[in-house]
Amino acid sequence: MIPAILERYRGAIEGRLSRALDGDGPLRSILRYHVGLEDEDGTPTHVTGKLLRPSLVLFVAEQLGAGLDAALPSAVGLELIHGFSLIHDDIQDRDRTRRGRPAVWTIVGVEQAINAGDLMHALAIATALESSSAAAGRLVEATREMIEGQCRDLEFEHRGITADEYLSMIDRKTGGLLRCAFDLGGLAAGVNGRVRSSLTALGQAVGRAFQIQDDLLGIWGRDDVLGKATGSDIRRRKKTLPVVLLFERVGADDRAKLEEIYGARDGAEVAEESVAWVIGRMDELGVRGACEAMVQRYVDDATGRLRQIPFSDDARSQMEELIAFLARREK
Amino acid sequence: MIPAILERYRGAIEGRLSRALDGDGPLRSILRYHVGLEDEDGTPTHVTGKLLRPSLVLFVAEQLGAGLDAALPSAVGLELIHGFSLIHDDIQDRDRTRRGRPAVWTIVGVEQAINAGDLMHALAIATALESSSAAAGRLVEATREMIEGQCRDLEFEHRGITADEYLSMIDRKTGGLLRCAFDLGGLAAGVNGRVRSSLTALGQAVGRAFQIQDDLLGIWGRDDVLGKATGSDIRRRKKTLPVVLLFERVGADDRAKLEEIYGARDGAEVAEESVAWVIGRMDELGVRGACEAMVQRYVDDATGRLRQIPFSDDARSQMEELIAFLARREK
């Protein structure tokens, strides 16, 4: 069951997204493909993504008394920033697949994919400016945080990291835009002070729960649901939370083997028997359970923060439904 | 002699630029290196670039009656957009050198250089927003034009193009930000209507003269001045205006040889004897003189547009000095 919050605004978001990406030229067309408004051959289709961030902006704005029209451009600007970051991330990570379809750079090449991301970034700000200068400013701030998080994530490929460093990175890379979603909703409604900081803290908790669940799916996700193979984050040496925890928990011998697997710089994928070994060690050392417990902790934290926001009972239970969905999702 | 317009605002621009790029972290540091505020080892130094675009914003704003403080953030935002585009362009073109120093991607790698450009893009908008929402909006529009121009420029590598297509591309890639410079100055001063369109037309003419002179330098520039070898644009198969004109002027035999040289997709540089042959054909067919005549035509056009703007006689002659400098510069 898709939560009501993710259903209610789809039409409005998709319509405004389509307007933002309208226009001639190969870059516009590849951007429409990227967000799912077009097939690879240009046939119109529907957005397949969850549209989580813009839906959050609109829900928070609406529940706190703002008009949807005022918040919609900033919501769509946020989704466009998210989309731009995915185009550039896929280049950086050499990910060939995005939401079960070929990644932009595999179609137009790395050079034009850099341009496509840059254009989407510019269109995002142009769109958000239609809400307000303050909304555009808040979005740019979140963009900066996200990029600095992505920078750290790439650095982490080359050294050992602690769980605290990992959380600090995802607070920027993932949390930056999720906090921004709640903030933009509050901004549209003109809330300040304590409510505003509760919204930010809620976004932070949701961001952590969301990202750690994502990390779980990158290792134990079912490939038929996710469109990528189980263990895929291990195969590509991504240092997500389960790997960080595994490094913390293994003994000296296993650590040497792990360092050999994660230290390889030949660009080749990790061999299948090593992938199986890593997953085996994780299972034996309770890594999966530890990650699941952390997801639950941040869900609880989010639920607590939610009580500090003047939502109606109905709105609060819709938000709880959404948080539970994000923490249990299978893709 | 450096024109007065390029001297007067350097201190103010460099100060604000330094503030925009202040902060910890490897990305901030590489951005300060990129604009010349730091050496590769982090030692503070001075910006070496001309700072043409922000100087134009401030000069136009001041001459039309705006305060410098109001225009400065938008001027620096424009320079940051220019800087971001150079980081991504150098990745796309695999240019290893920028202003005589190693390009950003050769130092931090392609992945982090994408992040560095993205961060500079975000910081540019954050800075411009301090002038006004309208200034940020105008800057985002110019950024979009520039990216669409860069997209076309990359496309042109793979097919024959006409001089008209070439001019239309540089009107976006180079003209986008130069028109914006004049526009932002006018915007800060609150001018509208005929003066505003004269400013835009002036920017367009200056952009064409500037870019074609750049194309001339890419083939006939002295390498000790420019920090790159004479013929360098030929060596790297850049389809600049002299090449476009040569294709239009050669006979069938030479065309076949040209297509062979420009059609090679092996990634290797053009052999020195072929570079010499191309330059020889250009000289015989009057390509250099034709380009120089075009630079002069756009200088004349700019001078005519200048008369439609309510500058003082002194301001007009300073602008004429700048235009002449740009059209005759050796780097």
ipTM, two decimals, is 0.95
Tens digits of per-residue pLDDT, B151-183? 999 999 888 899 999 999 999 999 999 999 999
pTM: predicted TM-score of the whole model, two decimal places: 0.95
pLDDT of residue B330: 81
**Residue linked to tokens 């061999």:** A271
- In chain A, which residues touch B (CB < 8 A)? 25-27, 88, 91-92, 111-112, 114-115, 117-119, 121-123, 125-126, 129, 132-133, 136-137, 140-141, 143-144, 147-148, 150-151, 154-155
Contact A27 B155 (CB under 8 A): no
In this predicted structure, what is the pLDDT of residue B60? Answer: 98
**Could B136 and A151 be called an inter-chain contact, meaning their C-beta atoms sit closer than 8 Å?**
no
Closest residue, chain B, to A127 (C-alpha): B137
CA distance A286 to A242: 10
C-alpha A145/C-alpha B122 separation (Å) is 10
Q: Count of residues for chain B?
A: 331
Nearest-Cα residue of chain B relative to residue A120: B144
- Please state the φ and ψ torsions of residue A31, each to the nearest 5 degrees: -70, -40
B183 and B175 Cβ atoms separated by less than 8 Å: no
Q: Output the pLDDT for position A285.
A: 96
- Say how far apart CA B37 and CA B40 lie, in whole Å: 10
Say if the Cβ atoms of B118 and A117 lie within 8 Å. Answer: yes
By C-alpha distance, the chain A residue nearest B26 is A151
Of B92, B112, B129, the CB nearest to A114: B92
Contact B136 A125 (CB under 8 A): yes
Look at B126 and A144 and tell me if their CB atoms are within 8 Å: yes
Q: With beta carbons under 8 A apart, name residues in chain A contacting B129.
A: 133, 136-137, 140
Mark yes or no for CB contact B129/A112 under 8 Å: no
Give, to the nearest 10 degrees, the angle between helix B163-173 and helix B133-156: 150
- The 3-state DSSP class for residue A101 equals strand
DSSP bridge partners of A98: A101
Provide, as residue numbers in chain B, all residues whose Cβ is less than 8 Å from the Cβ of A122.
121, 140, 143-144, 147
**Which stretches of chain B drop beneath a pLDDT of 50?**
none
| Numbered residues of chain B with Cβ closer than 8 Å to any chain A Cβ | 25-27, 88, 91-92, 111-112, 114-115, 117-119, 121-123, 125-126, 129, 132-133, 136-137, 140-141, 143-144, 147-148, 150-151, 154-155
In eight-state DSSP terms, residue B222 is -
Low-confidence ranges of chain A (pLDDT < 50): none
Contact (CB<8Å) B147/A25: no
Quick check: A111 and B154 CB within 8 A? yes
- The pLDDT score that the predictor gives to residue A112 is 97
Question: B247 - beta bridge partners?
Answer: none
State whether B118 and A92 contact (CB < 8 Å). no
The whole-angstrom distance between A36's CA and the closest CA on chain B is 21
Tell me the helices (H) and strands (E) count for chain A, helix number first: 17, 2
Q: Which residue has the tokens 């003269």?
A: B209
Q: CA–CA separation, B58 vs B69, rounded Å? A: 9
Would you call B129 and A133 a contact, using CB atoms and an 8 Å cutoff?
yes
Question: Which domains are delineated in chain A?
Answer: 11-191 (1.10.600.10), 209-331 (1.10.600.10)
Q: Helix, strand or coil for residue A188?
A: helix
Report yes or no: A25 and B151 within 8 Å, Cβ to Cβ.
yes
